[in-house]
Chain A
Amino acid sequence: KNEVEQSPQNLTAQEGEFITINCSYSVGISALHWLQQHPGGGIVSLFMLSSGKKKHGRLIATINIQEKHSSLHITASHPRDSAVYICAANTGNQFYFGTGTSLTVIP
């Protein structure tokens, strides 16, 4: 069993839809990260969370430390949001990566 589980693995949405990606982890963390990876390969850090909620533009990330669960929400989705979204748990010693959620937003 992976230390970090994401769902769904694949997601297709119509432009404008509200999207939620879920992440559950089993390790103790110093921080939880949401990363975005485009087909070209490079990884961009979206959020670092240790509690509560963060918002950046149309992206919102939440974390529930007691339940060891985090969600990434995208409001008013757009085709340029199409990418793989990766949840990563930082234990202070290493990162555990989820297997990623591949999002495709159709115009």
Chain B
Amino acid sequence: DTEVTQTPKHLVMGMTNKKSLKCEQHMGHRAMYWYKQKAKKPPELMFVYSYEKLSINESVPSRFSPECPNSSLLNLHLHALQPEDSALYLCASSLIPRDPRGYTFGSGTRLTVV
């Protein structure tokens, strides 16, 4: 298995809803990442988990709450989002943190906040 699997692929949620995005990999990668990408912009790093511990939080608002239950799974819990949070949320993983060989990206979850 050489993939990063993200679910759901699309999500529409209201501003008062609570939802979660899921990311899974079975490549034995020990670093996992959440990125946010707005239309026609490059991905922006949100969180980094290294060996299941949160190592980087790029000043992300608390309405985004990451969780890494085990080395294969990464969640992003969403609560009280704003319409401007609508974006493509990409998960990525790498064998080791900051692996210069690069990351494996998932297909993303396209989130719309209404």
Contact surface of A with B, Cβ cutoff 8 Å? 30-31, 33, 35, 40-45, 48, 50, 86, 90, 92-95, 97-100, 102
Contact of A45 among B40, B41, B104, B108 (CB under 8 A): B104
Contact of B100 among A30, A43, A86, A97 (CB under 8 A): A30
Q: In this complex, which of B41, B100, B103, B107 has the most chain A Cβ atoms within 10 angstroms of its Cβ?
A: B100
Provide 12 A-B residue pairs closer than 8 Å at the C-beta atoms, listed in order of the A residue. A31-B101, A31-B102, A42-B107, A42-B108, A43-B90, A43-B108, A45-B104, A48-B102, A90-B102, A92-B100, A95-B45, A99-B41
A71 to B101, CA, bound (A): 18
Q: B98: CB under 8 A from chain A?
A: yes
A35 to B104, CA, bound (A): 10
The distance from the CB of A74 to the nearest CB of chain B, in whole angstroms, is 20
How many B residues touch A, CB cutoff 8 Å? 20
A99 to B43, CA, bound (A): 9
B42 lies within 8 A of A42 (CB): no
Q: Which residues of B contact A99 (CB under 8 A)?
A: 40-42
Q: B88: CB under 8 A from chain A?
A: yes
Q: B110: CB under 8 A from chain A?
A: yes
A43 lies within 8 A of B105 (CB): yes
Q: Which residues of B contact A48 (CB under 8 A)?
A: 100-102
Contact surface of B with A, Cβ cutoff 8 Å? 37, 40-43, 45, 88, 90, 92, 98, 100-108, 110
Q: Which residues of A contact B110 (CB under 8 A)?
A: 41
A41 lies within 8 A of B90 (CB): yes
Closest to A40 in B: B107
Nearest 10 interchain pairs by C-beta: A42-B107, A97-B42, A41-B108, A43-B105, A30-B100, A31-B100, A41-B88, A48-B102, A45-B102, A90-B100
A97 lies within 8 A of B43 (CB): yes
Given contacts A33-B102, A41-B37, 20 further A-B pairs with CB under 8 A are A30-B100, A31-B101, A41-B88, A41-B108, A41-B110, A42-B107, A42-B108, A43-B108, A44-B105, A45-B102, A45-B105, A48-B102, A86-B42, A90-B100, A92-B100, A94-B98, A95-B45, A97-B42, A97-B43, A98-B42
